[in-house]
Every structure is written in structure tokens, then in C-alpha cells.
Amino acid sequence: MRAMLEQLITLVEQGPVALARVVDTTGPGPRESGAAMIVTQAGEVFGSLSGGCVEGAIVESARQVLATGHAVTDRFGYADGDGIAVGLTCGGEIEVFVERVASDRVPMLSELWRQIADGRPVALATRLDTTAEWKLLRTDSTEAWHDVDRDALALLTAGRSGVVGADECEADASPRPRVFVQVFGVPARMILAGANDFVRALSRTGRQLGYRVTVVDARETFATAARFPSAHEVVVDWPHRYLRNEQEAGRIDGRTVVCVLTHDTKFDVPTIAAALDIEDIAFVGALGSRRTHAERTERLRAAGVTESKLARLKSPLGLDLNARTPDETAISIAAQILAERGNATARPLDRINGPIHR
């Protein structure tokens, strides 16, 4: 839903829409909790929930919700590919909540967007009943809301979306409504050193993957927002100095990715050395040929970088995709980052036994 938030606000300002979100999943599935789809009164559809498996049924539910104003919950399980039942062919189960969103929700949606844009952890809590009541939760929220705030805030702190509370029909000393807590945590950072075509391509790919992308280069002529429209910020500074300042400010954590794509020793060596000095950084990679890597490694050793730190450097950067163009290279690099992040093999799925989604 994060990627569709601006579009949702624009559409709601024009008239009521139906918002469908995956609120719970079991087993393998095409999308995670929080995946969203918007259906307008004119029948326009934006986004997807399952890659085509259940969207038709959700559109029908959306029409019902727009007509009645009452939210509904749809559940889909496994459906045989040769059968007629609507469901998932991957074998998992999903729960989808469909609600009517009108102009009265614009202020809260706008505030949610501001909180996300400012890089502040925030969550949208939604009652999973016909009322579809909303509340914005922040880490400093104190106002009680249906006795679920404590569990909801725990999810926000953990940076994980989920369902809290219980069905009112369940035996409980103090029944609580089920509430979907969609967490919009501070996104992981991708810091790209350099101001060239490879950086421009990777900034696009990184943003699509949900990273907050920073491009940093000391050359003011090349490091401009106009040349890198997909980057969240473009900084004119020496990359190694920028990294150290960001570390001291506490803006680099164990999810941060640093890729050095400068092809210039006076930039490469100090930037890589500064990145490897940050012990809990998630990924440090450097683009270049094997010859460039060998020469650069010797310069890093001469600069005092230890062998244990050098072992963390991913260089030459990227998976073997025979990538040639900047866009192909960006896919190669992104694939390696995803594989490292998920502790995956990066091998073709048709050559691996076992479940696809682990």
C-alpha cells in the first residue's frame, strides 16, 4: 500500500473508492500482508493482491462495498488449476479486507503520507468489521483504542504488520475486535557512491524494491536531482565523509546497503574503507572487473583495511547474468542484494528442491 498511497489520496479526493488489502496469510502466497488494490466507482482497478488469482472476485466484493458502504472480508485458499473455484494455485491462504474509503479519510491518509515521507515509523490500524474504523499509531501513541494499542504498538516497534485482538464471538474475559495493524516502518537505506548511468539505473531498481535511495558524489556538476529522479536525495559530498557523518548521526543500521560504482580510485578506496569500518552494515559492494578488484584490494590493504573486513566486500559486484547495459547491471546487483538479504542460494528455482518461499 505504501507505493499506492499518493494515488489513493488522489482518487479518494475525486470520489469514494474500494480499498482491498491482504491482512493475513498462511503458507506460500504471491503477496504479503499489506498488499493493496483499489477499485473506483467507474470500475478502474489499480494494484493487485495475487497476480491474477483472486482479483476478479475482489472486484465483485468492491462493487458491493461501494454500493452498501459496509466492509467485507474474503478468504481464499488453494484452488486446483483445473477447477472452477476462485483461489490460489500456490497452495497458500489469504484473508482480504475490502472497505469503502471516502473523502473523510483524506486527512488521515495525508498525515500517514507525511509521517512516511519524514521517515517516521507509523502504523495504520483498521478494525476488521463492518465499521472499518481507522487509527494512526506512532511509537509515542498514548490514547487507548479498543484495548489493542499495546499489541499494536509492539508490532510497530518490531516493524512488522499483523492482526491483533480477537473475534468478539470468542470466549474471552474482555473480547477485543480484530484489528489489522499495517506498519510503515522506516525503509532500509541504499547509498550509492557515484554519479553515472549505472547509479541512475540502480537508483530506479532500489526504489522499486522499497529502499530509501541516496546518491552521493563530490562532483557538483554530475550530482544533481535532475539526473537522478528516482533517488530520494542527491548529496554533493565525498562519499567516505558522507558515510562517516551518517554513521555518527545514527542514520545507518544493519539493513543499510552501500554500493560503490564510481570507477575512480580516489573515490573507491576511501569509500569502501569507510563502509567496511561500519560493522553492522548489511551489504558493501563495488562494481568493477576482476583486474580492477585485484588492484583495488591491494590499495585497500595498503590503506590499512584488514583481511576480515575485506572478506565482507562484494566485488566484483552482481550475479552472473551476463549483464551489459546499466539497467541489466542494476538487475544483477539487486539480485545479489536480495539473495544476501534473504540468505538465498541465488540458483535457478528449477534446480532447487523444496518450497519456493521459505
Record the pTM.
0.67
Within 10 Å of residue 149's Cβ, how many Cβ atoms?
20
Q: Is the peptide bond before 316 cis (omega within 30 degrees of 0)?
A: yes
Q: Is 137 in a helix, a strand, or coil?
A: strand
Q: Would you give per-residue pLDDT tens digits along the chain (358 residues)? A: 888 999 999 999 999 999 999 999 876 555 688 999 999 999 999 998 876 668 888 999 999 999 999 999 998 875 544 443 444 454 568 899 999 999 999 999 999 999 988 878 899 999 999 889 999 998 777 666 766 777 888 888 777 889 998 644 444 445 678 999 999 987 889 999 999 999 999 999 999 888 889 999 999 999 999 999 999 999 999 999 999 999 999 999 999 999 999 988 899 999 999 999 999 899 999 999 999 999 999 999 999 999 999 999 999 999 999 999 999 999 999 999 999 988 889 999 888 887 765 5
